[in-house]
Chains A and B, each alone.
Chain A
Amino acid sequence: MLAYFVAMATYAGFFMILAQGLNLQWGMTGMVNFGVAGFYAIGAYSGALLSTRVGITPELAIALAGAIAGVAGLGVSLLTVRLREDYFAIVTLGFGEIVRLFALNEDWLTEGPKGLRIPVRPFDFGLGNTAYSLVYLGVVALVVLVIYAICERIRTGPYGRTLRAIREDDVVAGVLGKYVLRFRVQIFVLGSVFMGIAGALFAHYIQNISPDTFMPMIAIFIWMSVIVGGYGNNKGLLLGAGIVMLILEGSRFLGDFTSIVTSQQLSSIRIILIGVILMAVLRFKPRGLIPEPKFVSEFEKAS
């Protein structure tokens, strides 16, 4: 039973890293990235190929995978940084799908639909299975915390305040012109780096990846985490990722308690339930469970 919770916590950890990357991109600059799966996949495949084909030590491969994802993020953001919020969403969704198609079709590189096996284990101190899984969870938790610290520093520092001002008010953004674009690209790249790292950590954990591991669904779950947790709020999204994982995996236990419906019917009911719960949470708490406190100026407080 412990092994199960350790595993679920690890998966939740990957979601948290992805959510933090996404929140950086959206929460700080309003860039609605629906291509999360694409950066996740780039990180996963790069990390996997570096450590299995090129023979780089896996810990280093994970870091490099983040960098490669960052480069992809640079490309995407340079192309699209001027686009309107809603349009940015569909273009990034396209990016995610094109990455998946590339992984599917170019099997000389990625093994295509067969998928890639990753027998290499990072952080392997020669431990038994249970201890190893705890170590992995520890590493993922550490990465989550480090990224959290980085994001908080950005948010509370002057850089972050500028970014939020840009997000809230287009006129300010208009006045600042090119400056805004530079900020947006920088933040987008950083967010992509985090997503790439999550992907490489994920690949080395489950030890087997294939193109259909990276479907658009992932973007949707991460978005749920960010919004359910709290619109743009760093603390909130950790809670959000945990809750989404809880809903996804907790709903499996329904089947253990009833036998009236068939397995296939139960599966549909489970997904309907997940959808309804998520809709209900957002309907009644549209700013999320831990909404970001609104920025109130000194002037307003005084009056």
Chain B
Amino acid sequence: MKKIRQAVCTLLLLAVVGTLELSARGYAQEPRLTVSLNDVPLSKVFDVIRQKTNYQFLYNDDLLAGTPLVSVHARNAPVSEILSSCFKDAHLQYKIEDKTILVMAPPVAVPATAPVAQQAPAIEVRGVVRDEKGAPIEGASVVVKGSAKGVVSDAEGHFTINVQSEKDVLVFSYIGYVKEEKTVGASHMLLITLKLIDASMNDVVVVGYGVQKKVNVLGAVSVVKSDELVVTKNENVVNMLTGKVPGMRIQQMSSEPGSFNTSYDIRGFGSNATESPSPPLIIIDGVPRSSGDLSRMDPTEIDNISVLKDASAAIYGVKAANGVILVTTKRGAKNANGKFNITYSFNQSWQQFLDVPKTVNGAQYMTLYNESQKRNYQTNIVATAPPAFSDSLINAYATGKLQSTNWMAAITRKFAPEDQHNLNMSGGSEKVNYFFDLGYMSQGSLFKTNSINYDRWNFRSNVNLNFTKRLRGSVLVSGYMDTKNAPYSSVWTIFKYAENLLPTDPIYANNNPDYIHLEPDNANPVQMANSDQVGQNTYKNNNFQGQMQLEYDIPGIPGLLAKGMYNLGYSVSDNTIINKSHNMYTYDATNSAYDVTTVSAPSWVQRQYYTNLNTLMQLSLNYHRQFAGAHNVTALGLYEENYGKGDNFQAQESFSLGIPYLFAGNAGDYNYLKALQDGNGLVNQVTKSFIGRFDYDYKGRYLAEFSFREDGSSKYSPSGRWGFFPGALVGWRISQEPFLQQLISPSVLNNLKFRASYGKLGDDGALNYQWVSGYSYPGPGAVLNGVYTGGVVSQGIPDPGLTWMVSKTLNIGADFDLLNGLIGGTLEYFKRTRSGIPATPNAQLPGTSGLQPLQANLNGDVTRGFEITLTHRHNIGRDFSYNVSANMGYSRNRYAFQEQTRASSEYDQYLYSLTGRNTNIWWGQVAAGRFTSYSQIQKFNENTGGGNQNVVPGDYYYKDLNHDGVVDSKDIVPIGIRDLPLLNYGVTLGASYKGFDVSILLQGSADFHVQYAEQLSQPLMYQRSSLVEFMDRWHTKDPNANMFDPNTVWVPGNYPTTGSQEAQGTAAVQNASYLRVKTLEIGYSLSRKLLTRVGIQSLRIYVNSYNLATLTHLKYADPEHPGQTGDTNNGDTRITQDWNISQGGYLYPENRTFSVGASVSF
């Protein structure tokens, strides 16, 4: 118990310098000292004692509040004597333990050693005081209610007290625990379990450039702790956050190993998936890092993640507009006897793939093909066409006489492995504590060849040092190395061809596995998914971070601390792209020969090398002091300088010897010899910032915070490179008001706080030296006399006033805690107004001017939303405890102003004008129904095109919304929300019983639609094959019936007849709302007794599943699998068709994993 407390205190110190004070020194015997002080606060006395001795004090600031001033005059007196004299009037109790002076809660009126009143006969009551986990509590006070009589429990938690009657009531109390009352009863024996006062009340939260007590936090800040994080098992830290942070939208687009293809944003502000506006700012241990760095962290090294969503981020200034994700890594803990922990954990997963498209077989393909041919009005009415495929042929495939090829099955496997290993050591002493971490993970892919695969090593060494009692330091060193391998053929093309190649085509020419069959576009998936044949892409990232920090308590001014920090980050991306020429064959039956065709010739290898160096320096002064026992003041002043340098080069050469290295290239082949540099990757940037924060609270009741940041960047013109970003936050912790405490007991209403914040933040992600006019070289050029001559290209016309976009964020929130954790929650409302979003000001500029203006600060938008978090925690008996936490976030974005060219008609104005309109609207026709019979088609009085001659039962019809008698592209209206869901929620359920524990994370999204393209949207796309779902279609009962004959009997289905127009609008756009069991973990911790015998401290084993089950209306596709992005027709200039988001629907699928794992500590 004691050790745990010390450890907790040490951690708190590291976190909240000044809120809880602790000064550590070792001493063997009680020292004597001389003190002379008049009318000073107790804390001053402690300071003097601390300075003159090596005693440490342990107390909570709240205890000293309201204690009277004291005067002490002692000559060479023992510490205890001095303390006793001070504490005379303070209603505090102290206790010297080891070298620590514990100052405790108001003691019982009479000390335990007070004489027992001479009344007889006394009943001796015995008992044990324990905490919820059954550990004994030492030093708990046991008082007879209504008397002054009391004792203190011993090291085993035992106590013995004499009472007058069995009806007497005993009151048990201990710092940090809920007071408990119990009647003595007949047995004279009592077993008392004290519950912790909601520990979260004393939690600290990492905020920008510091930490704050959770109860004092005024901003919208969400925290995910290590144990909450790691319960989800995934290779990407971002995926492990899904459903855990209210207001954070996370969508895992694919589970492709090493692609980390997860899109996320905070409150819909700015996503990592698009370059502009910029993604949330990622800060790892105080250092700005990339989204990819966050994804690639070893989850075990993370202590906690704070997400700043409002003006609390203003302290990050010009980069903060889209929120900040702060990651803090683990530190070692002081261990009194120098003991250390070694923990090894492993996780073995099997990945299963969700909604991998299934393709039709030969007979199905031919049936669909014949239908589409019959469906053709022209050919069927003008002259009835014979079917392309005869019944006998279809039958041959249906009966297996002829073999269909299942391309997808030929390249994929059902399960793919993934594993993670982690070894860490932590420990500490008075002088040093440390945390070392080594992690490894590897992930295989769904391809049978495993040609896509990924592995990663993570390393971290965090060391904290106490040099002297005033000077402390830390050294943080970390890095990762990872490698992704993939076949040269892009992954999406492998899926595309596996989905659309004909099932009647063979994989191998003449079915001879030595001869890959030549397929259209030279695309045979079996070959494409095999790096040995087509070549391999290897992407390696190496990242190193080294950080040194020193902090120094400045003598003379209590509470003033100077800090300095320097971080050096270096990363290298080292890629090798190998294109191998390969052979494909056709079999020439007439001559019994294999005709070869060599494709992708010549073979070539390309190396790409990118380096980045970043340094960060911070110097700061921190001040924390309480005045007059009521006014708490914290202040921070910080100077920061950031330097970034990036460089790169690429080299390429063809090779013919089969050795894919540059040295073995074909030196004479200048056509494929390239040496390149990406001019945009040539970075040289400096930013300087002055940062300040001032916190004030009065008795923890009225709280206020002001922060600012003055940012200067070399990216802007000298006249406009500095920007000022202030933030103000206020709060009222009404639960601390005496009037409210009288109305509602503080043990019922533990906490109620109202807060508001407003700040100005910036976003400079979209800008890069656009104020400089001039030419870039070499730009697009021409071949003159056979020699390539690079061109010079004007940069365009700069707007000298161009600057970052400004966002102003308002947040109003409330936090409450009731009944020690039974109910807790947070409510947030936010509104962000953004102005100066850069856009090219050519909407009004006639093209004849020839001016190519660069961006100017033109557009604006508004984002509004709310978040709700509710928590519930409860213990039933000693062994069973559970907790529930639910969160939900909603966010909507609207164009406040959008610069646009004047529309040419009122209708176009309605359709294309964006100002004042919500973003991410899906426009489309509204399906009114589908035709079920010929008579319905004949009576239909609107023209769906071509006078409805080419319409058959099963076809959709749409509403003529503009009532012009024709149903066409002018009948579109907003029909859905695209790209990212508006509403996101998560529910975490946790329970433990004895050694067992269960965690479930339910996560979902609503208000979000998808439409799929290409192969997922229609059968026989590009005259190729089809997916099986399209067999569920309207078709004639008799396959040979004429589709345009009114007497034909139809069989209904989900899709229109093959060959009909693709579904449009609401018939095609699907609601992708979903609820899924993101995480399920069941664990068992072996009993400590058993383990200590074999020298193991703890051992936990578990089974886990990721994406176990999903509830959605969506058919044949995973809801997180992205569909088509924006519809360019609606004039939305900011979100246009981005092939990379969904890759036409051919993106590598999502996965579900089943894992077993264990972690063991020595």
Q: Do A and B bind each other?
A: no
Interface residues of B (CB under 8 A from A): none
| Partner-B contacts on A (CB < 8 A) | none
